[in-house]
Structure 1
Amino acid sequence: MTVLDIRDLTVRAGARTLVDTVSLRLAPGERLGLIGESGSGKSLTSLAILGLLPEGMAVTGSVELAGTQVVGAGERALTAVRGRDAAIVFQEPLTALDPLMRAGRQIAEPLRRRRGLRGAELRRAVLAALEQVLLPEPERIARSFPHEMSGGQRQRVALAMALACDPKLLIADEPTTALDVTVQAELLDLLDTLVKEREMAVLFVSHDLAVVARIADRALVLKDGRAVEEGEVRDIVTAPREPYTRALVAGARQLESALDPRSGR
């Protein structure tokens, strides 16, 4: 069974090709890291999966998500798959969170819309979603507005929203980049646990191989919109074939060294 099957995905903006014939597949429980520097096309690829690309971009190829063809689909069909079949967590949680709405109400919306929950049952489900992402005092968090929470708490609320309807695929687009190192590690551990429990497929988008190596089994490296290398994360980290991948690996190792308290830096 395949959750996500992308074949020759191409995204153009006018005469510019931003994503060039990218293909990838994900089965339930599989974790793929989509790696590349800024401008490599990784975020555009992830947005194309849910039909969230900005207006004016032309998309060709095939994106089949849990049996639904996304490329060329209308808004009604796209709305049906969002949250139910796939959900996305962004680098900045305020992208997903309404600053004028309490956290509990924001989590309640997909539960009400997708699962038909109401009243006390809905309230219990909201608190359970907050507890599952290990937020302390879930009742207080549910009553809080985004500006009343820390960055790490906001990202956990965004994750709770994404997982509320038990999607088959979770797209995590640089979800830890804006967090400090300690909170980043905690969130990665939490994500690892939740994914194992639910046997979800995960597409983890990042510029940092060190982060991808903690969460993904396989990796696809993008450069200038094209796939340049694909394989097991262990193989890519220890024996990268392409010069571009070797540069990413070197950068990740330098970063790990810089963040290692034993280095004295």
Structure 2
Amino acid sequence: MSLLQVTGLTVRAGDAALVRDLSFSLDAGERLGLIGESGSGKSVTSLAALGLLPDAVTADGSILLDGHEVVGAPDRALRPLRGPVAQIVFQEPLTALDPLMRVGRQIAEPLRRHLGLRGAALKDAVASALSEVALPDARIARAFPHELSGGQRQRVAIAIALAARPRLLIADEPTTALDVTVQHEVLALLERLVADRGMALLFISHDLAVVARMTERIVVLRAGAAVEEGPVLDVLRAPHHPYTQALVGSARTLDAALDLPGGAS
């Protein structure tokens, strides 16, 4: 059984279809990318996978997360899955983190809820979680989100997402808000953690180069529908759908421009 099985998913906001008849699967330990332009349905799909769609948005079809049906399930039935089975890292950590809570307490919450840690064991686990994302300074745990840099905040968000040892990590454009140098560091961190823990990864991005680096297989979305799917290198080397061809062509044009003398200035 796949860890995540999406079948005929359609997501609507009123009369507008945000996702249309989408199907894909993700096995344990596999790395899958969802790629497409803004508004293609990538982030909506990630929210639907965890049952986090807003009340005004409805979903039809089926999403099986570790064998549990997500579509139509009450929130109380899905809470135990968010953490040990799957967790998400969002694009902008400053809005994802609680601005009024010190980051150590935010990391401690899933450790307490899902792993039952208390006292000294909880404090040690928080320190270990921060060290794992290359934030070993004890002052980080006492800081509020606004006191940290963008890269530090995203590392904290990753630490929170991984605290309960999920089998699936959903990364929704996790480096878009970061500068290029910090983006590389965060991607390298995610690569290492996913490999070390043997997690499945659903990586969402509009950046072909990033998706090619982070995933083994991709699904290309356009206007809420899948237009192409396959091993990432096969799709990038020989795209079949005109939309995928345009994406690849644009990326190659940009790479060629940057290779020109003065192009990266």
Band the TM-score falls in, shorter-chain normalisation: over 0.9
SS of 1:87's equivalent? strand
CA shift for structure 1 position 79 = 1.1
SS of 2:221's equivalent? strand
2:8 corresponds in structure 1 to: 8
Do 1:33 and 1:216's aligned partners in 2 also have CA atoms closer than 8 Å?
yes
Do 2:102 and 2:143's aligned partners in 1 also have CA atoms closer than 8 Å?
yes
What stretches of structure 2 of length at least 5 have no aligned partner? none
- Aligned-partner Cα distance in 2 for 1:255–1:136: 38
2:139 corresponds in structure 1 to: 140
Map 1:1-265; keep pairs closer than 5 Å.
1-137=1-137, 139-257=138-256, 264-265=263-264
SS of 1:9's equivalent? strand
Moved more, 48-57 or 153-162: 48-57
- Aligned-partner Cα distance in 2 for 1:154–1:260: 32
- Aligned-partner Cα distance in 2 for 1:252–1:263: 18
- Aligned-partner Cα distance in 2 for 1:185–1:257: 21
CA shift for structure 1 position 257 = 4.8
Spell out, residue by residue over 1:74-121, the C-alpha distance to the aligned partner (whole angstroms, 9 max, x if none). Answer: 111111111121100010012321011111000000000111100000
SS of 2:78's equivalent? helix
Which ranges of 4 or more aligned residues in structure 1 deviate by more than 2 Å? 250-265
CA shift for structure 1 position 55 = 1.3
SS of 2:87's equivalent? strand
CA shift for structure 1 position 261 = 9.5
Moved more, 105-114 or 247-256: 247-256
- Aligned identity (percent) is 65
- Aligned-partner Cα distance in 1 for 2:104–2:154: 14
Spell out, residue by residue over 1:6-57, the C-alpha distance to the aligned partner (whole angstroms, 9 max, x if none). Answer: 1011111222111001011111110000001011011111100011111122
- Aligned-partner Cα distance in 2 for 1:185–1:261: 22
TM-score where L is the length of structure 2: 0.96
Which residue identity does 1:197 align to in structure 2?
Answer: D
Which residue identity does 1:240 align to in structure 2?
Answer: P
Do 2:127 and 2:136's aligned partners in 1 also have CA atoms closer than 8 Å?
no
SS of 1:193's equivalent? helix
Kindly tell me: are residues 104 and 244 of structure 1, through their superposed partners in 2, closer, same or farther at Cα, counting changes over 3 Å?
Answer: same
Kindly tell me: are residues 49 and 25 of structure 1, through their superposed partners in 2, closer, same or farther at Cα, counting changes over 3 Å?
Answer: same
- Aligned-partner Cα distance in 2 for 1:13–1:81: 25
- Aligned-partner Cα distance in 1 for 2:121–2:242: 54
Kindly tell me: are residues 153 and 259 of structure 1, through their superposed partners in 2, closer, same or farther at Cα, counting changes over 3 Å?
Answer: farther
Do 1:210 and 1:253's aligned partners in 2 also have CA atoms closer than 8 Å?
no
TM-score where L is the length of structure 1: 0.96
- Aligned-partner Cα distance in 2 for 1:17–1:254: 32
Do 1:64 and 1:70's aligned partners in 2 also have CA atoms closer than 8 Å?
yes
Q: Please give the root-mean-square deviation of Cα atoms over the aligned residues, in Å.
A: 1.5
- Aligned-partner Cα distance in 2 for 1:143–1:260: 44
Do 1:7 and 1:23's aligned partners in 2 also have CA atoms closer than 8 Å?
yes
- Aligned-partner Cα distance in 1 for 2:175–2:153: 12
SS of 1:220's equivalent? strand
Spell out, residue by residue over 1:134-157, the C-alpha distance to the aligned partner (whole angstroms, 9 max, x if none). Answer: 1241x1111111011100000000
What stretches of structure 1 of length at least 5 have no aligned partner? none
